[in-house]
């Protein structure tokens, strides 16, 4: 497996193809439905976003409380399709990598290709394994959402599969 440090560079994104297995290290954001809706509404209103999405990676997951001695509880992926109505706008604002599980809409795939981005598949059922890759957790926006707030994670050894590459190659089509 190839190993990469976030944020990914354009040439790294272009080199990755559907079905590639990779390992990520570095900083990524966490946000689910409500975070995406708030960011989308801010974009529509022309407001400044709470974080710079340029080159950013976002992971669709809801963390569970951290057990003693851990920085986060189980943190597996959630279904990505729920973010589909908002994802093209975030990609246009500079988001480069999305991590979740399950297929994406045609509109999202078109936006991935147009913006030269990636969709990565995290392994469902591996929340405890992913928790071991998280080295730090920092809230960054929408604290009122509690466990669904936007947070920043520092990860080491975060294993994923390229599900949709920057040219539109996909593990979901044959």
Catalytic residue numbers read: 36
The answer to whether residues 51 and 141 touch, using CB atoms and an 8 Å cutoff, is yes
Pairing of strands 97-100, 134-141: unpaired
Query: H-helix or E-strand containing 91?
Result: helix 87-92
Q: Can you say how many angstroms the Cα of residue 143 is from the centroid of all Cα atoms in its chain?
A: 19
Mark out the alpha helices in the chain (DSSP H runs). Answer: 10-15, 33-45, 87-92, 106-115, 127-131
């Amino acid at each position: 497996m190839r190993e990469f440090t976030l944020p990914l560079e354009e040439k790294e994104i272009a080199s990755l193809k559907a079905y590639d297995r990779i390992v990520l290290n570095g900083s990524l954001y966490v946000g689910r439905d409500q975070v995406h809706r708030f960011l989308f509404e801010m974009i529509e209103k022309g407001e400044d976003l709470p974080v710079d999405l340029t080159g950013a990676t976002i992971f669709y997951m809801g963390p569970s409380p951290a057990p003693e001695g851990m920085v986060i509880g189980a943190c597996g992926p959630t279904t990505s399709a729920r973010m589909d109505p908002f994802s093209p706008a975030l990609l246009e604002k500079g988001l480069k990598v999305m991590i979740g599980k399950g297929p994406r809409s045609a509109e999202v795939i078109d936006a991935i290709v147009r913006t030269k981005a990636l969709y990565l598949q995290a392994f469902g059922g591996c929340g405890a394994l992913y928790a071991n890759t998280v080295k730090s957790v920092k809230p960054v926006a929408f604290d009122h959402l509690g466990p669904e707030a936007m947070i920043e994670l520092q990860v080491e050894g975060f294993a994923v599969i390229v599900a949709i590459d920057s040219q539109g190659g996909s593990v979901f089509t044959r």
